[in-house]
Amino acid sequence: MRSFPLPIALTVRLSPVIVLAAAGWALSSGPLAAPQAAEQKPTGTTGTQSAPASAPSATQVPKTYTAAPAPCDSITGKTVKSLVPGAKTAGKEIASTDAELRRTCSWNALKGYEYRWLDVSFEVLASDEAAAGSYRGRLEDRSGGGPVPGLGDEAYSVVDLATEDEQQTREGVVVARAANALVIVTYNGSDFESKKAPSTDEINKGAIKAAAEAVAALADGRG
């Protein structure tokens, strides 16, 4: 079998596979106006008028999601095998500074000359408004993609092609928002024999499939 040199940028991602080591990687609360009670002086009373009743305090809107689900359980084994042939279905959870609010799982494998990498991340924010702001911010520097209907409250998918040392890598990213939580899926692949990348359709559909399962896991409270 011939040896095919790997581009430097991909060597970093491939090293977990090649050396068999672990891979490392938006309160919506509009102002609640105090109702203006009509002041009426009690009949037959004299003296100082009693102070009007205090306005009721604003009620905090509860968060839909308070913690991120277990990311490695958010994708079925069947889907992992389909998207990342040769990868262990259990995946590898990446260390987080706040595991309740941010969690990520990664799967990657090199099977023959075909390489695939899948990341699924959950981020729980303080409110729907905060999540929506984060969602918009993540799309500011992206172009060429489009919305994904029916996925969470809003979702966007984009696929990019990168070439380094004549080796192509195609990567798809799906960002979905469900209430106060975000689901971010990254899926990419390369063929180190042909130096070509998988088709845009393959990568895009794979990323959306993983994102749909992750959003469903979030709604189910899985993990």
CATH number, residue 164: 2.60.120
Whether residue 14 is contained in a domain is answered as no
- Pinpoint the alpha helices (H) of 58-106: 77-83
Residue 89: domain span: 67-220
Locate the DSSP E strands across the chain. Answer: 92-94, 102-111, 114-124, 146-147, 154-164, 167-178, 181-191
85/188 Cα distance (integer angstroms): 13
175/201 Cα distance (integer angstroms): 17
Q: Which has more confidence, 61 or 43?
A: 61
Q: Which has more confidence, 38 or 107?
A: 107
pLDDT of 47 above 70: no
Whether residue 158 is contained in a domain is answered as yes
pLDDT tens string 4-24: 444 444 444 544 433 333 333
pLDDT-derived band at 222 (thresholds 50, 70, 90) equals low
pLDDT of 61 above 90: no
- As a whole-number percent, the residues of the chain with pLDDT over 90 amount to 64
User: What mean pLDDT value characterizes the chain?
Assistant: 81
Whether residue 189 is contained in a domain is answered as yes
Whether residue 129 is contained in a domain is answered as yes
Whether residue 174 is contained in a domain is answered as yes
Give the strand pairing for 102-111 and 114-124: antiparallel
Whether residue 30 is contained in a domain is answered as no
pLDDT-derived band at 99 (thresholds 50, 70, 90) equals confident
Q: How many other β-carbons are positioned within 10 Å of the β-carbon of residue 179?
A: 20
What local confidence, expressed as pLDDT, does residue 187 receive? 98
Number of domains in the chain: 1
**Which whole number is the average pLDDT over 186-199?**
97
By the 8 A CB rule, do 185 and 119 touch?
Answer: yes
Question: Which residues share a beta bridge with 178?
Answer: 181
Single out the residue of 51, 54, 105, 40 nearest to residue 79, CA to CA.
105
